[in-house]
Amino acid sequence: MAVLDLFSLQGKTAIVTGGGRGLGAQIARGFAEAGANVVVCSRKVDSCIEMSEELETLGVKSMGLACDVANEEDVKKVVEDTMKEFGQIDILVNNSGATWGASTIDMPVEAFQKVLNVNTTGTFIMSKEVGKVMIKQNSGKIINIASVAGLGGTHPDFMETIGYNSSKGAVITLTKDLAAKWGQHNINVNAIAPGFFPTKMSNVTIENGRDYILAGTPLNRLGNEEDLKGVAVFLASKASDYMTGDVLVVDGGMSSQI
């Protein structure tokens, strides 16, 4: 197979949670540009429907669906509707996320639990339900969106987000454990750990710490609208068939420095 063909997603069907905006939208566009039909879902269904209409202008089929990833019934409905429309699920991107900023001693337990419920439990529920389909197919690619914040601690003057950091560390371990358990079913499970990309969720952190971020980033810039989708297409395609349980860091080199 020619090398460019290894990256084609023609004939594939993908689900991208939180796909209506931000990093999820960038990934959804990348998949559509590579030929995949894409289902985008989140609690904000209007943005998903709008994104779905945009993706269809690229010549693929798409659906925008409502889904709270921490709600099992919502997740089951998305899987059911996707199967009804496309008959297969080849790719899942667990991108939906939440955060909460407060010092550790002031962090409400309810807020900590809410962040873990979306970021970690939601990733588990979505993987579990889509995994049932992929196991029957004996094939599939799951991509979990972690974060460089899940690789270690962050200075309190920069990020007071212990719930978010903890949840993304858990996503990394969840990724590795699913990879170990589902490799026998020909399912690849990998994660992407982005650095700082301007999104609605990260804008406050970036605004308050831009100089700190850029000083600690060898490439001396933030992530842009093109920096993540190629990595996601790689992990979704045949080009990454011998990779599982790995975490690809996309942070401009920030985590390479001691």
Query: What is the residue range of 239's domain?
Result: 10-244
Tokens representing 74 are 């919502």
pLDDT digits (tens, 9 = 90+) for 110-138: 999 999 999 999 999 999 999 999 999 99
Question: Residue 194 falls within a domain, yes or no?
Answer: yes
Mean pLDDT across the chain: 94
The per-residue pLDDT for range 23-48, each reduced to its tens digit, is: 999 999 999 999 999 999 999 999 99
User: Do the domain assignments include residue 249?
Assistant: no
Closest CA to 27 of 247, 244, 223, 253: 223
Gap between the Cα atoms of 85 and 65, Å rounded: 12
* Residue 62 maps to a domain: yes
205-249 confidence digits (pLDDT tens): 777 778 888 988 999 999 999 999 999 999 999 999 999 999 999
Answer yes or no: is 253 within a domain. Answer: no
SS3 content of the chain, % helix, strand, coil (to 5): 50, 15, 35
Tally Cβ neighbours within 10 Å of residue 96. Answer: 24
Instruction: Supply the residues annotated as catalytic.
Output: 164
Query: How does pLDDT run across 171-185, given as a tens digit for each residue?
Result: 999 999 999 999 999
Residue 228 CA from chain centroid, whole number: 10
**CATH of residue 59:** 3.40.50.720
Give domain status of residue 3, yes or no. Answer: no
Give strand ranges (E) for 105-210. Answer: 140-145, 187-194
pLDDT for res 258: 62
In a domain, residue 251? The reply is no
Say how many C-beta atoms besides its own lie within 10 A of residue 105's C-beta. Answer: 5
Structural domain total, the chain = 1
Residue 5 lies in a domain: no
Q: How far is CA 99 from CA 21, 51, 75, in A?
A: 16, 23, 21
258 domain residue, yes or no: no
Residue 139 φ/ψ, nearest 5 degrees: -170, 155
Q: Tens digit of pLDDT for each residue in 71-110?
A: 999 999 999 999 999 999 999 999 999 988 889 999 999 9
